[in-house]
Structure 1
């Protein structure tokens, strides 16, 4: 009898996180009260938002692994004042976009971006700003469609020297057990990280509540783990070398104390693209968009004057 009980207990522990996932709600529940609009693309619904008056200068913002498009809230006004109309959107698996079960590879994200720009009628050149994992997606778009990009701005870009957190790194290398581990312990890890960021300088003081909302939506944890394994962990040397040969202006902005994409990445990107310009924000970590928006706007303003 005791063996039956132990086996039942082990089974219950194994399936509990996946059962809990079934009770999380889909993103469409929250769309009715949200700002922005949705586009039905081939792989699902994408939630997007236009900011500022219509102009010929458009900048597209691509967020990173765990925080959706609201991570750029502190940059919108400054970009509008530069004369940009801003387009932000939620990557699949985050925010109010759908949760397709496809592997979250660079090609998967590139398809979403390309189809969204096509759906919005943006055929001419736009500026791209990619943060962290968004830097991989933006760089791939710039290399694949150079005629559609006039400038590439990278904030703490992934694709080189990425250092994942201990739990995420272990989960990504542990197969099915890793999926279970991330479902069990991932929420606590993400909440603790959000609380730490919210306790420091930030223009998003309710960051922890926003991450809680992400964790309440079905498919978010799966998307984060998949993107970590299939996009963030890649080195994209060929992509950046191609961008360098094409001559697309590139500005990379780094956090001096970034533990996720350390400053060693500057040397690597310099080797790949000698024309890329660099700016280091002193005292900043990885969460540049919401901890150092003023420094980012100043660096972008100077970049626009020079190129």
Structure 2
């Protein structure tokens, strides 16, 4: 799909505009990445991979909870999201996994295995990263993972394979589709409004809608059973979390995920939609922290 700037994208990300932005920035091989590394310097490092649209601010409440439990956290905005570069490259899982690999390497965080968390589409990125660098991953936590629906002839991914059609849909209806997607993510209307405001603010930067629709073209979010099966065969201790009222990756896929991943532990979070780290950060931290601690104790013993 040819790069485009959509109506309403009235801001540009430059070195000058980033000077007033919170967090840190680093130049990687594909572009500039916006990240935050917080928490006790001697804590185990938890690295988070986000979904289709979310910036790193999505993780703020979970970060606070994990830092309070003695864990160090690394969050970043994937390329095309938040304040990271809108790159003119193929937005596929290889791009996002490479971004995480380069970021952790450049920040010197790979001396000990990392604890990797992926939510929704970010779960596919996390599994790709784990497959490429299994020795560097101590635990894997997947939250409401995408990838287990069956591909349909009318699925957005298949329809958007045509570059001309993808560009037309993205320009004319992209923002409307994005708002509709965000409206199904969160159970609580107030949190949903907060999430929508957060995401749409970052979508004022040039190239944002292009990035999302190019991702939909090149990163399949259905029919990924082989990736789940491959991940389960890696032997990495895995925690599987799911919102009980998830409308995006329905709870009906939980049993399939368990069969393929063979997780050490799974938990359904009550009164929660698709975005458990955002909706129920304390409940998610209550699951992640002891899971990480148990693995660390085994490695240290």
Please indicate the TM-score interval, normalised by the length of the shorter structure. 0.7 to 0.9
SS of residue paired to 2:241: strand
RMSD: 2.9
**Among candidates 25, 29, 34, match of residue 11 of structure 2:** 25
Aligned partners of 2:186 and 2:273 also within 8 Å? no
Aligned partners of 1:129 and 1:153 also within 8 Å? yes
How far, CA to CA, are the matches of 1:306 and 1:205 in structure 2?
Answer: 37
Aligned partners of 1:125 and 1:147 also within 8 Å? yes
C-alpha deviation, 1:265, in angstroms: 2.2
Match in the other structure for 1:44: 31
Aligned partners of 1:254 and 1:279 also within 8 Å? yes
Post-superposition CA distance 1:59-84 (Å, at most 9, x none): 11111101111111110111112211
Q: TM-score, normalised by structure 2?
A: 0.85
Aligned partners of 1:167 and 1:182 also within 8 Å? no
How far, CA to CA, are the matches of 2:227 and 2:179 in structure 1?
Answer: 33
How far, CA to CA, are the matches of 2:182 and 2:231 in structure 1?
Answer: 34
Match in the other structure for 1:149: 137
Aligned partners of 1:93 and 1:223 also within 8 Å? yes
C-alpha deviation, 1:53, in angstroms: 2.6
Do structure 1's residue 119 and structure 2's residue 98 form an aligned pair?
no
SS of residue paired to 1:299: helix
C-alpha deviation, 1:304, in angstroms: 3.9
Aligned length in residues: 290
Gaps of 5+ in 1: 1-16
Match in the other structure for 1:187: 175
Larger Rg: 1
Q: TM-score, normalised by structure 1?
A: 0.83
SS of residue paired to 2:219: helix
C-alpha deviation, 1:173, in angstroms: 5.2
Do structure 1's residue 244 and structure 2's residue 225 form an aligned pair?
no
Q: Which has the higher contact order (CA 8 A, sep 6+)?
A: 2
Residues 162 and 75 (structure 1), Cα distance of their counterparts in 2 relative to 1, 3 Å cut = farther
Aligned partners of 1:202 and 1:291 also within 8 Å? no
Aligned partners of 1:187 and 1:215 also within 8 Å? no
Residues 67 and 281 (structure 1), Cα distance of their counterparts in 2 relative to 1, 3 Å cut = same
Gaps of 5+ in 2: 296-301
